[in-house]
Amino acid sequence: MTSEVVENEFEFYSKAEKYWKDVPATVDGMLGGYGHISSIDINSSRKFLQRFLRDGPNRTGTTRALDCGAGIGRITKRLLLPLFKTVDMVDVTQDFLTKAKSYLGEEGRRVRNYFCCGLQDFSPEPNSYDVIWIQWVIGHLTDNHLSDFLKRCRAGLRPNGIVVIKDNMAQEGVIMDDVDSSVCRDLDVVRKIIRRAGLHLLAEERQENFPDEIYHVYTFAMR
C-alpha cells in the first residue's frame, strides 16, 4: 500500500511535478531514456486495443479517447489519433502540452482539449469517452487517489467504453522511487485497486520484447 511508503502526500506530488519540469520534452524524455522501445510499445498497445474496436454487439466506439499522463503526445500521435475521431490530453506539465501542439503536426487539429492537471484533481467529462488510456502514470497517484480517479473514469465512459492501464509492475509489494517520486505496485495491489473502483477486468496482458532490466509491464482493460 502507498500509505506505507508515502510519508508526506503533498511532498510526494510536488516532488514529482518538479521532476517532470526538468525532463526534456522529447520521446526519449517521456520514456526515461528508453525512446527506442516506443515502436514496440505502440504496436503491442494497438493490437491490444483493436480487439475491443472490432465488429460485434459490444464493440467499443471510436469517437473520442482520453490520453492520461499524455506528456508531449507520443501515445496520442501514434496510437489514439489513428484510431479515434478526436482525442483529449491531460498532463500535469504545461511545457509538455505546449510542445505537443508542434509534435502532433497536422493531425493535432483533432485534439480537442489540452488539460493541464494532475490526475488526482482531474475529472473526465461524464459519458464522453470510448477509451480512457492511462499509461506510465499510475505510480504518481496514491492508492486512494488512484481508486477515486478510476471511479471518475468509469463515469466518463460512453456505452461499451473501456479504461486501459498500461504500467510497470513490481515483483512484490509497493516500491518507492525517490528520483521521480513515484511508486511501483505489484499485480495483486493493482487488481485490488481496480476492484475497489468498481471496475471489472476484461483483459490483462504482459508486454513482450522490452529490455530485461526494466520492470515487467502489464496492460489491463476494464469497464
- Residues annotated within the binding site are 69, 74, 91-93, 119-120, 135
CA–CA gap between residue 189 and residue 74 (Å, rounded): 28
Nearest Cα to 93, choosing from 66, 125, 68, 118? Answer: 118
By DSSP bridging, strand 86-91 and strand 111-116 are parallel
Annotated binding site for S-adenosyl-L-methionine: 69, 74, 91-93, 119-120, 135
> H or E segment at 99?
helix 94-103
Q: Please provide the distance, in angstroms rounded to a whole number, between the alpha carbons at the two ends of the chain.
A: 23
Measured CA distances, 111 to 17, 27, 66, 105, 184 (Å): 24, 19, 10, 11, 30
